[in-house]
């Protein structure tokens, strides 16, 4: 017969063990909940955040775009606020004030903030050599090189203007071939704009019917769609190597292999006395640094090597294609909704340029209304609604708040260019806000920053401005854009990818 004392002892032991287990579980839950709910002392204010999910649910369930919701929250909680943008991530710092943004992104603050990556970026490709995503000394080296290379390739000079106007003639011919029929302007405009950066980067342009060219553009479109702040691929980036993102991986592979092949061809045929494009300039730059390093035993090795060239060229191809193309598409969308604006642009073109020659950059000072329209399109529908993300490298004080180390920092450019405290009725399309009272001068607004601000602002700003003016004036000189019969005016809501793009639309281009 069993000893009753032993049974009681076992029951007592089991009860104690269960109590300890329960206590351990309770303690674990308490620690997790405490960690999730506890806000670091003196963190910027912001909307209430769910445990683990942060503000992700509120952002995704809203009928508005993320940048619009963040702008509304900024008006409620302040121009420096703390927001949980992604599940399981620490709250990010969102800045919606131009003065604070300029201060934060100035060179004096570079030891506080550095470029960060979206979760998907390092999975897509190595960031070494990237003009956009690299950081530290390599980023500084790449930016210095990029600015110098653009100058050598004619950015800001007549030679580039001639190249853009030549491409504009190809674009006009492509549109003329539609013979007044409704067509989607997306692809021809992307091809034309892309050919400018291709000629600068690759040394040659593509024919519009080249299937490889179309594949390159389609592949980069897929990449941009998946790298957006609200994309599920970015939110759940751990799915990158699963079948769910097989198409994205294939597109990245195609672009990478194509550019690597072009770079290798350039290395095989390199001539130090004949620089064809930025790839050749990059090869020469690296070779020069290697030679210096070999002569000076203690000299530092170049941080960018030949194997990194393709990454920077991919950035130039992507950014140099997408942003200007979509700005032109937004411009056409706006004149479809406001046809009187197109009439005024065409009147100015007729008075300044006429019809017997192509527009020139020398015409820009004499065409304030056209420039004002382009500015207003960029203000109201900037393709870059956020500056690319940053990350804090140390704890510091900003406007009385404590910003912890390792926090993502987002600069909401859209909020700044649509701030009712700065812009009168910012939701209205009004080119006149960029014109002087007599309409003869373009007003420069401090808060108009479509190319971002600070030391990591858009590398190709000068190129983009030249392209926008010349492509736009060439198009409106030769065509009047009209809605197809029965089509309603564009709603101008936009689609948020890595950039902010207009919804697909069709148009008729009537030859003037």
Token pair for residue 143? 């930016």
Residue 218 main-chain phi, psi, to 5 deg: -65, -40
Token pair for residue 479? 């065509």
Token pair for residue 188? 């021809």
How crowded is the C-beta side of 477, counted as CA atoms within 13 Å?
Answer: 24
Q: Which residue has the tokens 């080296």?
A: 141
Contact 467, 445 (CB under 8 A): no
Token pair for residue 220? 């980069």
- Distance, CA of 23 to CA of 257 (rounded, Å): 57
Burial of 390 (0-12, 13-18, 19+ CB in 10 A): buried
Contact 226, 245 (CB under 8 A): yes
If we measure between CA atoms, which residue out of 193, 313, 197 comes closest to residue 258?
313
Check the annotation: does 458 bind a ligand.
yes
Burial of 104 (0-12, 13-18, 19+ CB in 10 A): buried
CB atoms under 10 Å from CB of 407, counted, come to: 21
Contact 112, 104 (CB under 8 A): yes
End-to-end CA distance of the chain: 110
Strand partners, 442: 435
Give the H or E element holding residue 115: strand 113-115
Contact 460, 320 (CB under 8 A): yes
Q: What's the sign of the alpha-carbon dihedral 83, 86, 87, 91?
A: negative
In the chain, what is the greatest distance between 2 CA atoms, to the nearest angstrom? 116
DSSP state of 230: T
Binding site, by residue number, is 458
Mark the binding-site residues for heme, compressed into ranges: 458
């Amino acid at each position: 017969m069993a000893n009753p004392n032993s049974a009681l002892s076992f029951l007592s032991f089991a009860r104690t063990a269960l109590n300890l287990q329960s206590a351990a579980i309770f303690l674990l839950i308490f620690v997790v909940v405490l960690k999730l709910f506890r806000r670091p002392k003196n963190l910027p204010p912001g909307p209430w955040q769910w445990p683990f999910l942060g503000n992700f649910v509120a952002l995704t369930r809203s009928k508005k775009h993320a940048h619009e919701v963040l702008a509304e929250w900024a008006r409620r909680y302040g121009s420096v606020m703390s927001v949980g943008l992604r599940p399981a991530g620490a709250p990010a710092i969102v800045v919606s004030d131009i003065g604070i943004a300029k201060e934060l992104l100035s060179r004096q603050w570079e030891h506080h903030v550095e470029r960060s990556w979206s979760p998907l970026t390092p999975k897509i490709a190595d960031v070494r050599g990237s003009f956009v995503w690299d950081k530290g000394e390599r980023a500084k080296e790449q930016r210095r090189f990029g600015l110098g290379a653009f100058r050598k390739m004619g950015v800001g000079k007549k030679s580039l203007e001639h190249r853009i106007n030549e491409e504009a003639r190809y674009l006009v011919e492509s549109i003329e071939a539609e013979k007044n029929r409704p067509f989607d302007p997306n692809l021809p405009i992307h091809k034309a704009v892309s050919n400018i950066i291709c000629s600068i980067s690759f040394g040659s342009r593509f024919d519009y019917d080249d299937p490889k060219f179309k594949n390159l553009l389609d592949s980069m479109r897929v990449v941009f769609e998946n790298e957006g702040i609200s994309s599920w691929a970015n939110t759940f980036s751990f799915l990158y190597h699963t079948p769910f993102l097989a198409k994205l991986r294939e597109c990245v592979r195609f672009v990478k292999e194509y550019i690597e092949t072009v770079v290798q061809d350039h290395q095989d045929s390199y001539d130090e006395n004949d620089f064809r494009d930025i790839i050749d300039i990059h090869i020469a730059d690296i070779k020069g640094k290697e030679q210096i390093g070999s002569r000076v035993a203690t000299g530092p090795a170049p941080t960018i090597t030949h194997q990194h060239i393709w990454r920077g060229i991919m950035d130039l191809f992507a950014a140099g294609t997408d942003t200007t193309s979509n700005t032109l598409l937004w411009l056409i969308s706006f004149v479809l909704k406001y046809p009187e604006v197109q009439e005024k642009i065409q009147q100015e073109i007729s008075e300044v340029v006429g019809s017997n020659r192509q527009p020139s950059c020398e015409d820009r000072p004499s065409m304030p209304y056209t420039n004002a329209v382009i500015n207003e399109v960029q203000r109201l529908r900037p393709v870059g609604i956020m500056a690319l993300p940053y990350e804090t490298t140390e704890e510091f004080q900003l406007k009385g708040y404590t910003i912890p180390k390792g926090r993502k920092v987002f600069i909401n450019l859209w909020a700044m260019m649509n701030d009712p405290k700065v812009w009168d009725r910012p939701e209205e399309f009004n080119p006149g806000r960029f014109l002087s009272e007599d309409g003869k001068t373009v007003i420069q607004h401090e808060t108009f920053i479509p190319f971002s601000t600070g030391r990591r602002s858009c590398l190709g700003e000068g190129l983009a401005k030249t392209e926008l003016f010349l492509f736009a004036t060439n198009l409106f000189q030769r065509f009047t854009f009209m809605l197809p019969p029965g089509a309603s005016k564009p709603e101008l809501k936009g689609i948020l990818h890595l950039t902010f793009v207009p919804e697909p639309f069709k148009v008729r281009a009537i030859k003037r």
